[in-house]
Structure 1
C-alpha cells in the first residue's frame, strides 16, 4: 500500500529530475535550428547563395566610354579587353553565364565615393588606396600597374630618360586618379599639372599641344600612342613613391558580403594561370617600356 504522502514525494522527484535532464539532440529551444537541419541549402559563394542587387544577375559597373585595352569597342558585355575578360572569368567562377552579367554605367570617381552603390562591384582601373578603402571595399588586386608618360615626338619631354627630365614639363592628368597623385609625389614638376575631368580631355590636351606630356597607366599609354594621338611617344614608366606596387581592385559598397567570394574567384583564376593568360592576351604589349628613375 502506497500512502498518498509517498505518491506526492515521488511526483515531486520526477519533476525535479526532468528539469535537470539534458536536452536531447532532437529537441530545440524556440527559434533555434535543430541539429539535424538540412545542410543542402545554397553555398554562400555560389550564384544562389550570393547577396546581389538583382537576384540571378551580377551587376557590374564601369565608365563610358569604356576604353581599350581594358574593354573592346566600348562594349563591356562582349568579354573582350582585359577588364571585361576578367569580369567574365570571375562571373564564371561564381556560376554566372555571360548573359547574366548586367553592366551599369558608373563614372570613374563615383565608383569609390561614399554611399550606397548601384552595382555589386565595379571595375574601371581603380587603384586600391588607403583613403579610398575608408569608404568602399576592394577585392584583391587583379592587376599590378605602373604609371607612364606620353609626349609628342620631337618635343623636349620626348627625349627624357629619367624623372628629372620631366621637372619642367606641363603635364596633363585626370582628376581623382592615382596618376595625378603620382605626378605630385614622384615627378614633382615645378608647374602645377593641368587637371581634366575625363581621360579623353587629357588625350585631347596632348593632341592640341596644351600640355607637354600626359601621365596615364601603362597599358593606356600604349593605346594612346597606338590609336589616339598620332606622332606620340611613350617616354617611359615609373612606380610609386613608396615603392609599394599599385594594384587595380574591384570596388564594392562598404560592408558588401560579396568581397570574400570575389577574392576566392580571383585566387582560383590566379592559381590556374587563367588571370595571367588574360593579361598576356590583352596587355602583353605593356611589357618592356623604359623605366624612369
Structure 2
C-alpha cells in the first residue's frame, strides 16, 4: 500500500509512513493534515450524499487534489479541506440524483455501524440519523451542502460561500430557506436513549416470538415501514403505513416463508437498530424513528450493496 492509498483508506498506516512519500512527491505535512481531519471530511461527505461508498470516493478525489496544493499558500488547512470535500461531494450529488431516478423501489441512505461517541453527541446523532438524512434528500444539492456545513459543522457563511461558489449574502438566504424547509419536516424530539433501547428490545422479542399484539403495542398507530432492496433483494416497492399493516406484513412474511428471523441490537447512524438474520444468515439492517415511547418509522435496508459498513464501526466527527 503506497502512502496515497494509505492516507485515504487507513489513517494509522498513513501516519506510520509519514514523510516517506513516493520519490518525495507527497510531502509529510499533507498526509498528516489529511489524516488528522479524515473523520470530519468523511462525515461531511456522508451527510451530503447518504452513501458511504460515494463518500469514500469523494475523499479519494479530495486527497488527489490536496497533495498537489502548495501548503505555504493555505492559511487554514482544515477549512481548505472541507471546502475541497464539499465541492467534490456536490459534483457527486448531482450524479447520484440521476442514479436515484432509475433506482428500483424505495431509496434509503447507506447505514453505518457507529461508535458509541456518535450516539453520545446528540447533534451529530441527529444529523446522521436515517430520518434526518431522508429529510435532507428533499433539499436541492446546494441547499443540502449549505445546510450540512452550517447546521452540522457550524461553518461560517464566507467559508460556505467559497465552497459552493455563491456570495455570502446568497448563502445566508439559502441557509434560511433550507433551515425553514428542514424544520417543517424535522423529526420530532426523540425518546431518551434508554426508552428507545427498551422499545427496540420489545420489538425484537415480539418479532422473534411471532407476537402480533406485542408488535403492534410497540408501534405508533401510523407507523411507516420503508424497505430498500435496490432490485436485488425483495422489498415492498412502496412504504407500508399503519401499525396493523406493518406488523401483519412482517409476521405474515415470516410465517408464509417458514423462516426464522432473529435480531441483534446495534447502534446504526447514532441510534438503536437491529441487525436481522434469516435462518442465521445476515439479511439487513433495521433502523427506527421514535415518537414518545413507540416506534414511528422503520427503515429496512436489504440491498447488499449498501451493507458494507455494518461489520465494523465507522468513526464520525464534527471537529
Please identify which structure carries the higher strand content: 1
Please identify which structure carries the higher helix content: 2
- Which of 1 and 2 has greater Rg? 1
What TM-score results when the alignment is normalised by the length of structure 1? Answer: 0.23
What TM-score results when the alignment is normalised by the length of structure 2? Answer: 0.21
